[in-house]
Structure 1
């Protein structure tokens, strides 16, 4: 009878060895799939970044021109920049809190004047913040 028990343990050992090998192979396949997916997503992100950088490096490619490509609809008058009256308002003036400029006009004002003032209330501007409306 001891031979039968030894044989049964040997068979059980073979079965668990096969199962272990199967689990290792499945885990390796899953790991390979995940690695492939991560590399594919990384490459896709890199391609998008390269395309974005290529768009931005062209001469005269301001946010205004990129914005006009992105928006086919007319900007309502109530949300147009108070300076250029073309682009939507995107910048919060600090400390007064007025949202009255597009980013293009904010850059022009900041470059042309070392101590800019809010175009609405003439309060000295200490900071510009992007508004996501």
Structure 2
């Protein structure tokens, strides 16, 4: 079955354009929501606002504070005197793989070990606290790399090198990474704030609004959100242009086929009228052997094909001379 590439390109690019439009709409919604959220530089100011307005819940706010562990903190595996509330430890294996297609060795990485841990924590201004719920649901990770070390594999024997060369794969070494959210880190939290029995907490909104725990300031968060809308907008325009071009091509092709069909129908009607007017006196086309001859081929001058067949031949059927012009003939 023949593939209609024009339809395939138009449909796929239109789908990608719609996906980019949805992503752009979502990011613009997040940007608008965060830019309109009430911002508090300290937890104490947030509490004062709740007291003044006699409310215990706000749908979306922004508050800044220092990280404080609720209970015991997590000690860093590699660094002394460093503690945090969220920990992620990775071991990444680095290999060289032989590519038969490219005829060269290519570097590759694979995660062979991952350990995560977190403890409850809050943000504080030194006087008041606000508990942070579900930090793993933040669309940006607040952790930072505190340890990154690559340990190359010990030198192998000549026999081992030969085996690796034959197999087409060899281990170069292992990379040890530790990501941590240290205590005392200044964070910006954006989400829904609630106060229950005197306890203040911030958690993911329930209506699809953004939830963010970030080491950036609110101004930097807004700048990132604005920059994040640029790529979907560019790709939306690109895929939209491709889809429009493909659809325009299909419409043009269909219109050309419509014109060709109408022209063919007109020629058929004209040949039928010639047949009716001349009866059997007109010689038949040497190509289709049915319709009456109605054209003269230039420069050879042969009158041998009908109106329909003259549209399909490039050389004269009688002398094989290349056709430069076709002239309609009329019988008086």
Q: Where on the TM-score scale, by shorter chain, does this alignment land: which range?
A: 0.3 to 0.5
Q: Normalising by the residue count of structure 2, what TM-score does the alignment of the two structures yield?
A: 0.19
Q: Identify the structure with the greater helix proportion.
A: 1
Higher relative contact order (CA 8 A, sep 6+): 2
In terms of fraction of residues, the more strand-rich structure is 2
The structure whose Rg is larger is 2
